[in-house]
Amino acid sequence: MAKMTVARAMVEVLKSEGVEIIFGIPGAAIYPFYDALYSSDIKHVLVRTEQAAVHEASGYARTTGKVGVCVATSGPGATNLITGIATAYMDSVPIVAITGQVNSSLIGKDVFQEVDITGATAPFTKHNYLVKDPKKIVRILKEAFYIASTGRRGPVLIDVPIDVQMQEIEFEIPKEIDIPGYKPKEKGHPLQIKRAVEAIESSKRPVVCSGGGVIASGASQELQILIEKQKIPVISTLMGIGSIPTDHPYYLGMIGSHGQKEANLALRQADLLIVIGARLADRALGDTKITDNMKIIHIDIDPAEIGKNVDTNVPIVGDAKQVLSEINKRISERKDFWAHEIKAQKKVLPDDDKLHPYDVLREISRAYNGDYIITTDVGQHQIWAAHNLYIKEPGTFITSGGLGTMGYGVPAAIGAKFGRPDKEVIAITGDGSFQMLLQELATIKREQVPIKVVLFNNTRLGMVYELQKKRCTGRFIATCLDGNPDFMILAKAYGIESMRLESKEKLKEAIEIMKSHKGPFLLEVVTSPDEPTIP
């Protein structure tokens, strides 16, 4: 066994896990790790704030299927990770976050840049570790990658005191990981699968609700086989967009308070709801009530999610891909698609001389034919994107669904581009969200990341402004962003090409200019503050 410092051992384990890139900012409590990283071939992306490091690791993880890795120092560096970690937890994204910590002998004494980050992140990490014994670092890192990437995926945090990083250990990587009490169940129970098949075949108006778990498990093909054999309409949560192509004849759209009318209508008329990889939280259900006349099959790899928000008749704990494969082996074929009338009610959007967000998004879909990865921020533009973009492949619509984190879109796009350099990556954002983490323009410039940013500028926190308009009789407070910068001058300051779009006549030309530009590009779309989320 070779002897080496804990810091170097950490880098060697990252290499053994196939890590090629990490996102972070160095600091005093994590400098031994960075010094060890200097001699490795792992690429480090220097972000401008630690929250962006998690979002970039998230975008990388969601486009590659690998574990994303981010690094920060102790104290404020670590606490700046928190929103990003919670975002990853809510959306089941595999992340390993490494933080430096003050000297072991000083923990609990409120010294400079000390914070209890393991305590702070306990509610929204799958697991976390404070490394006190240097000899355990290799096993802990191996466990962290295993936990983050198995079962219901999610973030794991490892906090390493600076004195531990500098100690020397005998280095040996264990061949197997065995964690007592952690045995993710992927195979569905045969009896429950049999009950599910019987329920589907005996139903008259079945509906599938597809969530992010379908994409995470790679079950899109199995889902498509099921719905085409049984001719079942599909609705999705926000996280489930892209689980089947959005132009599939059986896809009715996103459900919920900001969902599409036909999707919500199908949900209300169904006598059987097959929920796959979704928790059906408040925003997904909106004002739709699950009646006693509707049976529910709920498939999820996390048993804690089944029955959390709706009562379930047939619970199936297991991986969506595996469970759907078993159902498809036993299911018969149905002759008729029952939701033709609902599908025919699809709303026709106004076609006038004004430049609407849906015009822009549909032109982007047409110009790229769905050959892109889309990331979004959170606000009106997120819903506009969810309703109007053509999503052709699973895992190409990346958004903050559970926590609804403003500022997610641009850094997620950076991570996505590092993960999939072969794909066009477009971040859809609004002026409110964009300004949450706009300093990442420096990361784009420094790393020459050729992403495109489409910024809808309505000089408002649009979602809340619309809420105040409807429910507060126009008593607008704290939603006007009159102090916005000139975004074109801002982009120029970072050396990024940009263009402002103000009229419908210039729409096609603007999208073509953006598409043909080889480097990073910002397209600002001037938008009316009164443009509704759902026309």
CB neighbours (10 Å) of residue 528? 14
Q: Report the distance separating Cα 341 and Cα 348, nearest Å.
A: 15
In contact, 213 and 277? CB cutoff 8 Å? yes
**Sign of the Cα pseudo-torsion (357, 360, 363, 364, in order):** negative
Kindly report whether the global pTM for this prediction surpasses the value 0.85: yes
Per-residue pLDDT in tens (0 to 9) along the chain, 535 residues:
799 999 999 999 999 999 999 999 999 999 999 999 999 999 999 999 999 999 999 999 999 999 999 999 999 999 999 999 999 999 999 999 999 999 999 999 999 999 999 999 999 999 999 999 999 999 999 999 999 999 999 999 999 999 999 999 999 998 888 898 899 989 999 999 999 999 999 999 999 999 999 999 999 999 999 999 999 999 999 999 999 999 999 999 999 989 999 999 999 999 999 999 998 887 777 777 777 789 999 999 999 999 888 889 999 999 999 999 999 999 999 999 999 999 888 778 888 999 999 999 999 999 999 999 999 999 999 999 999 999 999 999 999 999 999 999 999 999 999 999 999 999 999 999 999 999 999 999 999 999 999 999 999 999 999 999 999 998 999 999 999 999 999 999 999 999 999 999 999 999 999 999 999 999 999 999 999 998 8
> Three-state DSSP class for 385?
helix
Q: What is the 3-state secondary structure (H, E, C) of 136-201?
A: HHHHHHHHHHHHHHCCCCCEEEEEEEHHHHHCEEEECCCCCCCCCCCCCCCCCCHHHHHHHHHHHH
In order of 97, 370, 405, the CA distances from 409 in angstroms are 20, 18, 9
Q: Report the distance separating Cα 130 and Cα 25, nearest Å.
A: 20
Q: What are the tokens at 60?
A: 């990388």
In contact, 311 and 285? CB cutoff 8 Å? no
Using CB atoms within 10 Å of the CB of residue 506, give its burial: 0 to 12 exposed, 13 to 18 middle, 19+ buried.
middle
Q: Cα dihedral angle (222, 228, 229, 234), rounded to 10 degrees?
A: 80
As a residue count, the chain comes to 535
Q: What are the tokens at 133?
A: 């014994």
- Residues 6+ away with beta carbon under 8 Å from 333: 229, 230
Using CB atoms within 10 Å of the CB of residue 135, give its burial: 0 to 12 exposed, 13 to 18 middle, 19+ buried.
exposed
Q: Report the distance separating Cα 512 and Cα 530, nearest Å.
A: 27
Tokens 């506009």 -> residue: 384
Q: What are the tokens at 223?
A: 């889902």
pLDDT computed for residue 454 by the predictor: 98
Alpha-helix runs per DSSP H in 305-448:
320-330, 340-343, 357-368, 380-388, 409-419, 431-434, 440-447
What residue ranges define each of the domains in the chain, with the CATH number in brackets? 3-170 (3.40.50.970), 190-329 (3.40.50.1220), 357-526 (3.40.50.970)
Tell me how many degrees the CA angle 499-505-510 measures, rounded to the nearest 5: 30
- Residues 6+ away with beta carbon under 8 Å from 75: 29, 112, 113, 114, 115
Phi and psi at residue 392, to the nearest 5°? -95, -35
Q: Report the distance separating Cα 291 and Cα 278, nearest Å.
A: 19
Q: What are the tokens at 449?
A: 């990341």
Q: Cα dihedral angle (159, 164, 166, 169), rounded to 10 degrees?
A: -110
Residue among 117, 58, 33, 130 at smallest CA distance from 82: 117
pLDDT computed for residue 347 by the predictor: 76
Q: Report the distance separating Cα 63 and Cα 464, nearest Å.
A: 31
Q: Report the distance separating Cα 436 and Cα 428, nearest Å.
A: 14
> Three-state DSSP class for 9?
helix
